[in-house]
Chains A and B, each alone.
Chain A
Amino acid sequence: MSVYLLRRLFQAALVMLAMSVIVFIGVFAIGDPVEILISPDADQIERERAIRALGLDLPLWHQYLVFLGNALQGDLGRSFVFNEPALQLILQRAPATLELAFGATFIALLIGIPLGLYAGLKPKSPISSTIMAGSILGFSLPTFWVGLMFIMVFAVQLGWLPSTGRGETAEFLGMRWSFLTRDGLAHIIMPAMNLALFKISLVIRLTRAGVRETMLMDYVKFARAKGLTESRVIYVHVFKNILIPVVTVVGLELGSTIAFSVVTESVFAWPGMGKLIIDSINVLDRPVIVAYLMMIVMMFIIINLVVDLAYSALDPRVRLENK
């Protein structure tokens, strides 16, 4: 196990290093920051001073080594636009994104499980076919367009919910959160619902498949034979067993929910990490782009590592195969 762990950690570090080279060179290739950041009327001396201050006069490999050395100390450069450390800028916006992602996951479970349960228990009923057709629609609908339609219906026409922004926030654990205030809660419902749409469809399908499989199990038959009420059989015996795969998949999906929040945040002007990266790409704020990509790559490498390790701990075949 420890050999496997070491090998896997080494692989993760290697992928991280390779990604840092790709990201750095890639971002370097997109354009000349001098043109964008230094005013065109600046004279030669001013230009040179600015170039030196930003470290843009060094050769590329030297810039990379400086970047790598600083990155290992948690310094991913300063934003050209905000003139703040890039990492700090991103971490400030992390609570907003995390709040949105967890909200969406919560909604997906809250809506998806009951609907999936119903569709699995009564597969022939017309309501079930409606639910399943709805879940196909949930997979097909482009997220950003649904977000716009939400704004159109609930904010513009009905005026029930605020259209954009995060609303009032309250402090908790040293960070600002929306879900603790009434106004903030009103702001988060639409974006979270929008982000949840795809997950709801996923949860419905998983739950339905799980129910249909579990209903045929011997322990369900036994529970019935014992004379338990149908509701106790379903809510205690079946429900607990379908919950394990559903929660596992939804947990694994958390990473991609954070990634997809880029779209939702742009639609609802939600001030999270995703909105920041899109804005930064548009003004070519290199340090922020690099810092965001490195952070998200690291997050995915860690998620994948944890998943692999968890599987190998649970299933010895995975370990043996990698020998």
Chain B
Amino acid sequence: MSATTAPTTPPPAVKPAKVETPFRRLVSEFCESKLALFGLIVFIIICLLALFAPWISPQNPYDLAQLDIMDGRLEPGTVGGAGFTYWLGTDDQGRDMLSGILYGLRISLTVGGGSAILACAVGASLGLLAAYAGKRTDTIIMRLVDLQLSFPTILAALMILAFLGKGVFNVVIALVIVEWAYYARTVRGTALVERRREYIEAAQCLALPTHRIIFRHLLPNCMPPIIVIGTMQIARAIALEATLSFLGLGVPITEPSLGLLIANGYEYMLSGKYWISFYPGIALLITIVSINLVGDQLRDVLNPRLKK
């Protein structure tokens, strides 16, 4: 291991590029696992595919003028009426599955990622508040967390969507309500330890405003667990959104996510037309596994207990 962290008389700025910042150390430690690096690369590719879907997909699956109903339910590899090959087959509307998956990825990633970030903001703020304020505020917030965590996620999400109805926005709300408690609990645990440290005391002695102490001093020191949970929760949110959409409670048919694409193929499954459900499922699986691989390694790298 490099021993450059020792604070004994730093050499007079030879190469500023070689300074070991926490971020660089994180990167080099993360890269020690080839599998995690592979997961990260795959995830970046998936994000790029989703981002550039309108430019790389063979057709726009939402543009009805481009669809030919005569091309419906074609097997993978068939050349369609429009002259290009449907590499992953077509669905019942004659929609190219590859294009459908690329556009579906956009919705799955937006809903999953967006809800994870929102849940993180809500949960981490409440967790910090609970730890910093203590007493009654702490009790109330943690009771809510306990209540939330005592119900399985799928059930709570089902309940909320039964009230709110379908829709992308409603799914995001449901996912945030289901997930904030995980962040709140973890952040509170870390923040309780951090707030007894001297730097918080010093900040308090300087009479800094409370919000400044919480967000500028306490929050940055609680980041490692937030990053780990955040990564894992993105994967969970994507899977949950897919499940809800499959049950017909998630995104509307006009904005099909991967889960809805799989649901659409369900009825054709029994007649042996596997590709309508199979390929979107593979895309979903690769996305979730790649995020989990990254999260697993981040947990090992950021866990201070595993440091030597």
Contact B272 A157 (CB under 8 A): yes
Contact A260 B152 (CB under 8 A): yes
Contact A140 B235 (CB under 8 A): yes
Q: Which of B151, B159, B247 is A278 in contact with, Cβ under 8 Å?
A: B247
A295–B285 Cα distance when bound, in Å, is: 34
Q: Is A156 on the interface with B (CB-CB < 8 A)? A: yes
Contact B292 A27 (CB under 8 A): no
Contact A278 B248 (CB under 8 A): yes
Q: Is B154 on the interface with A (CB-CB < 8 A)? A: yes
Contact A304 B150 (CB under 8 A): yes
User: Which of A31, A148, A157, A260 lies at the interface centre, i.e. has the most chain B CB atoms within 10 A of its CB?
Assistant: A148
A149–B277 Cα distance when bound, in Å, is: 9
User: What's the minimum C-beta distance from B242 to chain A, rounded to whole angstroms?
Assistant: 6
Q: Which of B269, B270, B278, B285 is A142 in contact with, Cβ under 8 Å?
A: B285
Contact A30 B262 (CB under 8 A): no
Contact A30 B164 (CB under 8 A): yes
Q: Is A311 on the interface with B (CB-CB < 8 A)? A: no
Contact A148 B289 (CB under 8 A): no
Which residue of B is nearest A260, CB measured? B154
Interface size on B, residues (CB 8 A): 40
Contact B272 A142 (CB under 8 A): no
The 0/1 profile, CB within 8 Å of A marked 1, for residues 164-187 of chain B is 110000000000000000000000
Residues in chain A near residue B271, CB distance under 8 A = 156
Which residue of A is nearest B296, CB measured? A136
For chain A, the bracket of interface size reads 35 or more
Residues in chain A near residue B274, CB distance under 8 A = 152, 156
User: What's the minimum C-beta distance from B150 to chain A, rounded to whole angstroms?
Assistant: 5
Residues in chain A near residue B163, CB distance under 8 A = 26-27, 29-30
Closest 10 pairs between A and B when the two form their complex, measured CB to CB = A26-B163, A145-B281, A256-B152, A259-B152, A259-B155, A144-B246, A281-B162, A140-B289, A140-B288, A304-B150
Chain B residues at the A interface, C-beta cutoff of 8 Å: 147, 150-152, 154-155, 158-165, 235, 239, 242-243, 246-249, 259, 262, 265-266, 269-272, 274, 277-278, 281, 284-285, 288-289, 292, 296
Chain A residues at the B interface, C-beta cutoff of 8 Å: 15, 23, 26-27, 29-31, 136-137, 139-145, 148-149, 151-152, 155-157, 163, 255-256, 259-260, 262-263, 266-267, 277-278, 281-282, 289, 293, 296-297, 300, 304
14 contacts between A and B (CB under 8 A): A15-B147, A26-B159, A29-B163, A140-B235, A140-B292, A144-B243, A144-B259, A148-B281, A156-B269, A156-B274, A260-B154, A263-B154, A263-B243, A278-B248
